[in-house]
Amino acid sequence: MCGIAGYVGDYDAKSILYECIKRLEYRGYDSYGYAIISSNKLFVEKNVGYIKPISLNVRANIGIAHTRWATHGKVSKENAHPHTSCNNLIAVVHNGIIKNFKELRNELINKGHKFKSETDTEVVAHLIEEYLKENDFEEAFRKAILKLKGSFAIAAIYVNQPDKILIARNENPLLIGIGNFGNFIASDVNAFIKYTKRAIALDDFEYGIVTKNGFVIKDLYTKRKIKKSEIRIDWDEDLALKEGYEHFMLKEINEEPIVVSYALNINFDENILNLLLNSSKIYLIGAGTSLHAGMHAEYWFSKYCRIQAIATDATELFERCVVDKDTTIIAISQSGETYDTLVAMKEAKKHGAKIISIVNVPGSTATRLSDYTILQGAGVEVAVCATKTYVSQLVILLKLILELSKRLGYYDGFLDEEISSLKEKIENVLRNCNDIRKVANDMFKSKNYLFLSRGINLPSAYEAALKLKEITYFHAEGMSSAMLKHGTISLIDENMETIFLIPGSGRNRERIISNLHEVLSRGGKVLAITPKEVKDVVNIIVPDTSEDLLPIVFAPAYQLLAYYVAYKYGREIDKPRHLAKSVTVE
């Protein structure tokens, strides 16, 4: 979940490393650090808190940097990366978890090594130092990596060979950025997108030697050179800038109309459609927000294709589903790096399943594990809280399912006109942001919230609750309004705020409003988010559309609501505590 960056080239590494690592701050932000080599000396600077530029006044053409999301050892300057060897000639940064670090640490202590931190990572610097006694840097690095059990993306530099960065990967993303005035390494393309849009991704058990003029990738076990294809990152680097918005989250919600237009223009590969039409089982897997997108798709699959697809938390796939060669997995992941989702994908492949992924980050691990990938094209999402990428996932899934429905002879285009007006409908919600802000300021005084709905909008209730709790730190729960009376209703009193997501017409509207009255009559506070005003309660009105498309129109409304509530309470909106943008650990 941490971020790694590195640079070797003609320019001053200090400012480049700062730019790169700053762009990765959303991957972890409890502490940070840099290691650079200048005049045959290693300089390390690290600190707790948000990333600041290097203060050292030396010139360097090589360096590595890290932003940390603590796993082993508390948040402290000592535990921040880079970590160094006893002789201070080697510096290492690492993402992931080294499971056997205690044994390795004890072995190294017995050999006389002195440790300065509580981290698992530090063993790597000492191991390289140990192997350097009889090997060159590359071989010492390779041997050190082979001792590790667990997951890692690692980069190391060595004072006596100041022309190269060595890198290695297992289960944690690591990329090389091919620049014109030097080369980059990073855990995420965002780090170097300002400097280059050409990238190479390492796969598991590969290591690389990156120099100013080139790179080589090799197999960790055999040392055989591996040819890799280049990935082009067609993202606009300015998307990683706030452009006048106070927070990335607000900016990204405001990008939803563009994201919807892009998603509506995606044409699906015939092979994807045929695969889905010929699969006897379809499972949609993901985590958090991406899982919620999959849950909506489950409803759409059953309604429009009469196909029983199952959406499941990726970690539960093998607990509850039969996965075999007749199975197609639709893996949904913004980052394409979520550990839990990747593990399920790999296991599903072993069982003979085919994998289609819906991913936002080009070249990410999920894209390389899939038989087919649908790239979201939503551009970089910086705020930890997923917003525009969720809306894009919904539109892509809806379009895909309707395309299948058409081929199955069920869909004749009756929703097409409404779908083409989704962009305007979202714009309309965004224009009404002041009404939403007012509700956020006037209500939302409690520490507990319930988001309630039914049918296709039930996953909207889950997602709305996730948005609120993630950035406000208040407890929120999404549930079926019908299920309220089966237990949760006992929580209703004047301190419980309930938010109902209600369609503008139909059976579910009547049923949900009836549940809303059950809350009102018990003294609960009620807000309705709906296209048609509900009497006796506070309303946020959104443009009317078919109930099945409402998840896409509700999303910006409850996302803005969460944003303004978090704003009111002065939360760190783009970087909520304890979280990181992609969860690359188990």
Question: Least distance from C-beta 386 to ligand F6R, angstroms?
Answer: 4
State the amino acid at position 580 in one-letter form.
Answer: A
Beta-carbon contacts of residue 263 (< 8 Å; ≥ 6 apart): 376, 377, 378, 392, 395, 396, 399
Judged by beta carbon, residue 344 or residue 402, the one nearer ligand F6R is 344
CA distance 548 to 284: 18
CB closest to ligand F6R, residue no: 288
Judged by beta carbon, residue 298 or residue 547, the one nearer ligand F6R is 298
* Interstrand relation of 310-313 and 281-286 (parallel, antiparallel or unpaired): parallel
Judged by beta carbon, residue 125 or residue 395, the one nearer ligand F6R is 395
* Interstrand relation of 497-501 and 525-530 (parallel, antiparallel or unpaired): parallel
161: number of CA atoms within 13 Å, CB side? 18
328 binds ligand F6R (CB under 6 A): no
CA distance 403 to 52: 49
Question: Least distance from C-beta 367 to ligand F6R, angstroms?
Answer: 12
376 binds ligand F6R (CB under 6 A): no
313 binds ligand F6R (CB under 6 A): no
* Interstrand relation of 372-375 and 31-38 (parallel, antiparallel or unpaired): unpaired
Candidates 54, 282, 386, 555; binder of ligand F6R (CB under 6 A) is 386
365 binds ligand F6R (CB under 6 A): no
| Catalytic residue (choose from 2, 305, 321, 385) | 2
Contact yes or no for 245/213 (Cβ under 8 A) = no
301: number of CA atoms within 13 Å, CB side? 19
Stretch binding ligand F6R (CB under 6 A), from 121-129, 250-258, 285-293, 521-529: 285-293
Q: What's the burial of 278, exposed, middle or buried (CB within 10 Å: 0-12/13-18/19+)?
A: exposed
Distances (CA, A) of 516 to 508, 533, 534: 12, 13, 10
Contact yes or no for 312/283 (Cβ under 8 A) = yes
385 binds ligand F6R (CB under 6 A): yes
71 binds ligand F6R (CB under 6 A): no
Question: Least distance from C-beta 248 to ligand F6R, angstroms?
Answer: 12
Specify the DSSP class assigned to residue 372. E
Positive or negative, the CA dihedral 461, 462, 463, 465 is positive
Beta-carbon contacts of residue 535 (< 8 Å; ≥ 6 apart): none
394 binds ligand F6R (CB under 6 A): no
Stretch binding ligand F6R (CB under 6 A), from 57-65, 142-150, 330-338, 521-529: 330-338
Question: Least distance from C-beta 574 to ligand F6R, angstroms?
Answer: 11
Token digits of residue 208: 């690389």
335 binds ligand F6R (CB under 6 A): yes
Judged by beta carbon, residue 310 or residue 579, the one nearer ligand F6R is 579
Candidates 341, 370, 373, 376; binder of ligand F6R (CB under 6 A) is 341
Beta-carbon contacts of residue 175 (< 8 Å; ≥ 6 apart): 185, 186, 187, 188, 189, 199, 200, 201, 202, 231, 363
581: annotated active-site residue: yes
Stretch binding ligand F6R (CB under 6 A), from 218-226, 245-253, 265-273, 332-340: 332-340
Question: Least distance from C-beta 373 to ligand F6R, angstroms?
Answer: 14
290 binds ligand F6R (CB under 6 A): yes
CA distance 162 to 211: 9
573 binds ligand F6R (CB under 6 A): no
Judged by beta carbon, residue 334 or residue 405, the one nearer ligand F6R is 334
334 binds ligand F6R (CB under 6 A): yes
565: number of CA atoms within 13 Å, CB side? 27
583 binds ligand F6R (CB under 6 A): yes
Candidates 84, 119, 327, 333; binder of ligand F6R (CB under 6 A) is 333
Stretch binding ligand F6R (CB under 6 A), from 114-122, 335-343, 432-440, 521-529: 335-343
Helix, strand, or coil (residue 279): coil
288 binds ligand F6R (CB under 6 A): yes
Question: Least distance from C-beta 581 to ligand F6R, angstroms?
Answer: 7
| Catalytic residue (choose from 22, 388, 425, 581) | 581
Q: Quick one: three-class SS letters along 291-356? A: HHHHHHHHHHHHHHHCCCCEEEEHHHHHHHCCCCCCEEEEEEECCCCCHHHHHHHHHHHHCCCEEE
Candidates 287, 356, 401, 476; binder of ligand F6R (CB under 6 A) is 287
Question: Least distance from C-beta 358 to ligand F6R, angstroms?
Answer: 9
Judged by beta carbon, residue 386 or residue 540, the one nearer ligand F6R is 386
Question: Least distance from C-beta 314 to ligand F6R, angstroms?
Answer: 8
Question: Least distance from C-beta 469 to ligand F6R, angstroms?
Answer: 10
67: number of CA atoms within 13 Å, CB side? 30
State the amino acid at position 297 in one-letter form.
Answer: A
Stretch binding ligand F6R (CB under 6 A), from 305-313, 328-336, 409-417, 515-523: 328-336
Binding to ligand F6R, residues 418-477 (CB under 6 A): 466, 470
CA distance 131 to 8: 24
Judged by beta carbon, residue 172 or residue 539, the one nearer ligand F6R is 172
Judged by beta carbon, residue 289 or residue 327, the one nearer ligand F6R is 289
CA distance 329 to 344: 10
Stretch binding ligand F6R (CB under 6 A), from 116-124, 195-203, 284-292, 478-486: 284-292
Candidates 31, 472, 515, 582; binder of ligand F6R (CB under 6 A) is 582
Question: Least distance from C-beta 256 to ligand F6R, angstroms?
Answer: 14
Helix, strand, or coil (residue 42): strand
Judged by beta carbon, residue 120 or residue 313, the one nearer ligand F6R is 313
* Interstrand relation of 497-501 and 448-453 (parallel, antiparallel or unpaired): parallel
Question: Least distance from C-beta 99 to ligand F6R, angstroms?
Answer: 22
Number of residues lying near ligand F6R (CB under 6 A):
15
Beta-carbon contacts of residue 495 (< 8 Å; ≥ 6 apart): 446, 448
Known catalytic residues are: 2, 581
The residue ranges that bind ligand F6R (CB under 6 A) are 287-290, 333-335, 338, 341, 385-386, 466, 470, 582-583
